[in-house]
Structure 1
């Protein structure tokens, strides 16, 4: 029976599909609900008193789409072993719960301690600065997404410190603009996550990463792949006839000039132990006790492994 090879580790297998579009779509809808309040549309009565209806309505959207959608998305990210995404969405969810609660308090006429709110906004702003840098390792659009949040919090913090009503009014407009932009970018990212895989092309482009992490040197499969390749095409032309070790070394020397005998033999013995090669040995049957490789060929398992990993025979 042919065994299909899974080359990914168990920790990389996702339990759920991509949960990010759910959280981002919830964020976009929540931002849309906040925009009228941020711009002061119907937020106050002609007498200057607070109109509870816009705040109460926005609170419902913030609770359901902002809080619950992003909480579900965060939990799903954690289940998929994505600590970065899980932390972001879960923290955002609780921030939306606070926003919903604050709006309900305003609608009900309950007091809200602005000093406490301002202190938490400062801490969140500091966190968002570092997260903006982190998002730059994913894509330029995600970096812009977090940068918009940074600017939104700059306006909120500045408004918390100012006592000038004119400046506060302009800062409130800035909050409205950045909230609107945040919703639009979130919607773009959500649609990219949903439709790009379906369309098979980047219908909604999100750009490449702005920063690149430091990478460790990649494992060199050159010699191992060359052994497989030569023996595979030998099998295609000559069946299960064996190839002498000298013939294999000569072939590898042409393809890989750096492939010395000291590098080839360990690779051959590894593939033999793995079950990919059949060896004919001389001077004994244990390479660890002086036996030498005289000739070799691929086993059926080695042929199947090469066809799966290199020729991708199970991929349509």
Structure 2
């Protein structure tokens, strides 16, 4: 009987120690050591947005350069960043990067499919609806940025304005509005590039080299 009680006491003493060791081991195994994918997504979005809106502003024409950037860097690179954000359990980053990545791919498809005779080109009302619905989607993400920092908040605010201006420009056929949207879009893209650069440089130098306006 005494031996049984001694054995039970030993089990009760050892069990918490073993559980603590198991928890520590599990924490070590699942610890995330992967790189931050946000700069990749931000640069993919920012660079492509600047180039497209140079076209909207009437500075350059649309051609293979913009379409290639939209397909590969604005599209595929952002989707890769979104998948990496999913592994980091970052819902906002996952939704934003994958969604805007597929936005760029769909935009390239809207331009190329009619040229290959796959489908008819969308009329101005269809394109306006396309841009307005992406603007509405961006409003949701803009609200989420209230809990982040001022830099990302300004980028998403300017993105909402960009989609709305482009939608109005397409719906009315007013090239002046589209041109204004182009310059506003250049600022939006440069803002995304700034945030991406800040995240890269601040991590490399181990200090806030470029501020983001944390709340």
Q: Shift of the alpha carbon at 1:106? A: 7.1
- Give the whole-Å Cα distance in 2 for the aligned partners of 1:79 and 1:85: 11
Partner secondary structure for residue 121 of structure 2: coil
Partner secondary structure for residue 136 of structure 1: helix
Structure 1 length normalisation: TM-score?
A: 0.55
Q: Shift of the alpha carbon at 1:7? A: 11
Larger radius of gyration: 1
Task: Give the gaps of 5 or more residues in structure 1.
Answer: 44-53, 210-316
- Give the whole-Å Cα distance in 2 for the aligned partners of 1:161 and 1:11: 54
Q: Could you list the per-position Cα deviations for residues 165-188 of structure 1 after superposition, in whole angstroms to 9, with x for gaps in the alignment?
A: xxx121111221122112211111
Matched length:
192
- Give the whole-Å Cα distance in 2 for the aligned partners of 1:10 and 1:103: 49
Q: Could you list the per-position Cα deviations for residues 184-226 of structure 1 after superposition, in whole angstroms to 9, with x for gaps in the alignment?
A: 11111111111101112211110113xxxxxxxxxxxxxxxxx
The match for 1:310 is none
Higher relative contact order, structure no. (Cα contacts within 8 Å, ≥ 6 residues apart): 2
Bigger proportion of residues as helix: 2
The answer to whether the 8 A contact 1:55-1:107 is kept is no
Structure 1 residues 23 and 185: CA distance shift in structure 2, 3 A: same
- Give the whole-Å Cα distance in 2 for the aligned partners of 1:12 and 1:176: 45
The match for 1:113 is 122
Structure 1 residues 177 and 9: CA distance shift in structure 2, 3 A: farther
- Give the whole-Å Cα distance in 2 for the aligned partners of 1:178 and 1:98: 22
Task: Give the gaps of 5 or more residues in structure 2.
Answer: 1-20
Bigger proportion of residues as strand: 1
The match for 1:38 is 56
The answer to whether the 8 A contact 1:69-1:93 is kept is yes
Taking only aligned residues, the RMSD between alpha carbons, in angstroms, comes to 2.7
The match for 2:47 is 29
